[in-house]
Amino acid sequence: MCDLGINAENFNPHIYFTFKRKFDETHVANYHSHDFASLVYVLSGTCPYNIENSIYQAKKGDLIVLNPGVQHGKIMKPGEDIMELHTGFGNIFVEGLPKNHLIEPGSCPIISVQDHEQEYLKCCSDICYAQENNEPGSELMLKINVMKLLVLFLKTTRSNQGHAEKSRVSFDSSEKSAIVSTLMTFLSENYMRPISLDTISKSIYLSPAYISKVFKEEMGVSPINYLIKIRLAKARELLLEGKLSIKSVARSVGYEDVYYFSKLYKKYHAVPPSKVRRQG
């Protein structure tokens, strides 16, 4: 029987983020490290990686395993691109390894799992679906599927071997851009639903404080103010059409309180929605 080095009773990783992204020659690589563990699965393409000052060629079917503190960065060449699924997590305890380590320190960080490609692709697909899905329970399904990815990794790399708290999450600029892009898509697709900073944070497993910090650095406004702008822009379109009452417009863009909506609209556009609707 395969010893995975984990105990089912206390296997409860903290999922910090998941995102899928394609990188090409326009990507500016930054040599950096995290204080958490990360798995990067290569879905397609190829590119060299500089990991701890050693060069590795990552290609489709490879798993890039990054322990905390491991310096790494892509080396994108003209004409090359690579599609990857990134996951980051903590609270991992694998028998025989330091906390939050998935492989022995100093061992090769690029692992070919092509023999299990269909299993990994299915797991990655399930992760992406759970993250993009807004149905009840999708947050839990996302965590379950990331846990399945971790178990699959341990299953395919620790077969028959006798061999696991997030303090500060740090990303390079490209990862920050990917996070912000994910957030913008989430807000654009869900502006009509009840959304709070806590809701946003749970959608991608990042703390509310960190989300606010990264988003404001990249966009110049907070996630909630960005959401307000999306909602009010859509509200203006509906008001100018003149087909819906102000109350219906408010509900259509995520506001149940029509008085609050009217007050907010006037604050941002200097005119009340009733005036815009008459003009329309």
CATH number at 215 reads 1.10.10
Q: Which amino acid is at 161?
A: Q
Tell whether 112 and 132 lie within a shared domain: yes
Same domain (yes/no): 114, 231: no
Residue 279: pLDDT band with limits 50, 70, 90: low
Q: Is the pLDDT of residue 65 over 90?
A: yes
Interior/surface letters 166-184, b for 16+ CB within 10 angstroms, e for the rest: beebebbebbbebbbebbb
CA angle 165, 149, 54 (to 5 degrees): 75
Q: How far apart are the first and last CA of the chain?
A: 71
Q: Who contacts 39 (Cβ-Cβ below 8 Å, separation ≥6)? A: 63, 64, 65, 66, 86, 87, 102, 149, 150, 153
Q: Which residues fall within 8 angstroms of residue 8, CB to CB, at 6 or more apart? A: none
Distance CA 92, CA 153 (A): 13
The reply to whether 8 falls in a domain is no
163 within domain boundaries? no
What does the alpha-carbon distance between residue 92 and residue 65 come to, in Å, rounded to a whole number?
Answer: 14
User: Which residue did the predictor score with more confidence, 80 or 206?
Assistant: 80
pLDDT-based confidence at residue 165 (cuts at 50, 70, 90): very low
**Domain with 247 in it: what CATH number?**
1.10.10.60
Which whole number is the average pLDDT over 196-217? 77
At which of 157, 186, 201 does a domain end?
A: 157
Q: Name the nearest CA neighbour of 20 among 163, 179, 133.
A: 179
Residue 230 and residue 212 share a domain: no
Mean pLDDT of 83-109: 91
Residues 147 and 31 in one domain: yes
Determine, yes or no, domain membership for 1. Answer: no
Instruction: Let me know: does 169 contact 201? Beta carbons within 8 Å.
Output: no
Of 110-114, 156-160, 236-240, minimum mean pLDDT range:
156-160
- Whether residue 71 sits in one domain with residue 58: yes
**Which H or E run contains 183?**
helix 173-190
pLDDT at site 168:
42
20 and 125 inside one domain: yes
With cut-offs at 50, 70 and 90, classify the pLDDT of residue 161.
very low
Residue 56, token pair as written in the block: 């590795």
Chain mean pLDDT for the chain: 85
Q: What is the pLDDT of residue 1?
A: 37
Question: Tell me, what amino acid is at 276?
Answer: V
Mean pLDDT of the 194-212 span? 75
User: Within a domain: residue 165?
Assistant: no
Query: Are 117 and 201 in a shared domain?
Result: no
Same domain? 134 vs 195: no
The number of beta carbons lying within 10 Å of the beta carbon of residue 202 is 15
Distance CA 132, CA 34 (A): 25
20 near 85, Cβ under 8 Å? yes
Residue 5 lies in a domain: no
Domain final residue pick, 109, 131, 157: 157
More confident residue, 172 or 221: 221
Whether 87 and 205 share a structural domain: no
Paired tokens of 38: 């990360």
Domain count, the chain: 3
- Asked if residue 2 has pLDDT above 80, the reply is no
62-72: average pLDDT: 94
**Same domain for 219 and 98?**
no
> pTM for this one?
0.60
Host domain of residue 238: 226-279
Asked if 194 and 142 sit in the same domain, the reply is: no
Query: Which CATH number does the domain housing residue 71 bear?
Result: 2.60.120.280
pLDDT band at 170; cut points 50, 70, 90: low
- Does any domain span residue 190? yes
Examine the fold and report which residue of 107, 123, 157 is the final residue of a domain before the chain moves on: 157
pLDDT at 144: 92
Does 189 lie in the same domain as 81? no
Question: Is residue 168 in some structural domain?
Answer: no
pLDDT digits (tens, 9 = 90+) for 11-42: 999 999 899 999 998 887 788 899 999 999 99
pLDDT of residue 119: 92
In a domain? residue 42? yes
